[in-house]
Amino acid sequence: MTELDRTDLRTSINALYARELDSLGDRTYEMLEEARRWDLSSTLAGGGVVTFAHVNVGDCGVHVAAAVNAALDSGADTLLAIGVLHAFTEEMELARRDVSSDGGSPSRHPTWGIQGPGLDFRDEWTGDHSMRALRHFWAAETERRGITDRRLVERYPFLAGGHPEDLPNLDETAALAESAVIVSTGDQFHHGIAYGTPEEEALVMEPKGLAVARRSMQTGIDLLAAQDHSGYDRHCVVAKSDDRDAAQLYSYLRGPLQGELIDIGASDATELYDAPAPSWAAGGFISFDHA
């Protein structure tokens, strides 16, 4: 994939998100009410983490809404949202391949570190889509509740490489995390023709594909519980997960956590990539709690 292709893909994904979010209308508030079936406020208040997918909003929006409800109900003044930073430039993709596939040192890449608003360090995060749905539901629910004294702070790690403790800007993020509750996002399983799966191995999403995705996500949850960040990084390569950096960061910040895979958000990707079916992505709605 060339740099132009990656730029076009970023543009297409953001345009898709904008259309979906703009078309929600009152469905935004319906999702926030539907999300009341899960009360994860105690998970966040107790120093845990809630994660959700960033596939098509119609397929994961209720999970995002549940995370927003949990954060606002937790009583915390600050929500630290740890987002996925996708490799939408050739520089980032080459760095990702070097660190994840060839065992290269993250420190030799200028993209290594944590990005986000207010930090004097790169700005690739501004073009990413992974937290667009969170911003949407956060803005809607804080306005509906008349809340004006809560902060949403986004941070985007890149190239953790199995050692999140070494990430530049970690100290600033760790200081935020001391008094904030944490949510994150990740699509932990990408599968099919669009993602390089051989045609003879490609599974349709329902039901076999999602069963495989669920087992893969559980493997990742178990690796995080063991604080095996290097093992988790390697697992993400096999699973074609975009969650390698975000998960390693919140795992390091919060320590050993036991995860429960509550649900899965999954979307077809054939049209987005103009690729044959099956091509799809899935992300877990997961609660992580201290044992």
pLDDT digits (tens, 9 = 90+) for 100-141: 766 789 999 999 999 999 999 999 999 999 999 999 999 999
Q: What percent of the chain has pLDDT over 90?
A: 95
8 A C-beta contact, residue 65 and residue 34: yes
Residues 282 and 190: their CA atoms lie apart, in Å, by: 6
Q: What pLDDT is attached to residue 12?
A: 94
pLDDT tens for 29-63 read 999 999 999 999 999 999 999 999 999 999 999 99
Rounded mean pLDDT, 7-17:
94
Q: What is the mean pLDDT of the chain?
A: 96
Residues 269 and 86: their CA atoms lie apart, in Å, by: 16
pLDDT tens for 218-262 read 999 999 999 999 999 999 999 999 999 999 999 999 999 999 999
Please give the DSSP secondary-structure letter assigned to residue 276: P
Which residues are CB-contacts of 183 (< 8 A; sequence separation ≥ 6)? Answer: 44, 49, 50, 51, 52, 67, 70, 71, 79, 80, 81, 82, 134
pLDDT of 4 higher than 80: no
Q: Two tokens at 171?
A: 């100290």
Return the ∠ at Cα 169 (arms to 155 and 77), rounded to 5°.
45
Domains along the sequence of the chain with CATH = 3-289 (3.40.830)
Residues 193 and 284: their CA atoms lie apart, in Å, by: 21
Rounded mean pLDDT, 8-18:
95
Distance of CA 88 to CAs 75, 85, 112, 175, 247, Å? 36, 8, 15, 29, 19
User: pLDDT confidence of 1, banded at 50, 70, 90?
Assistant: very low
Rounded mean pLDDT, 68-78:
98
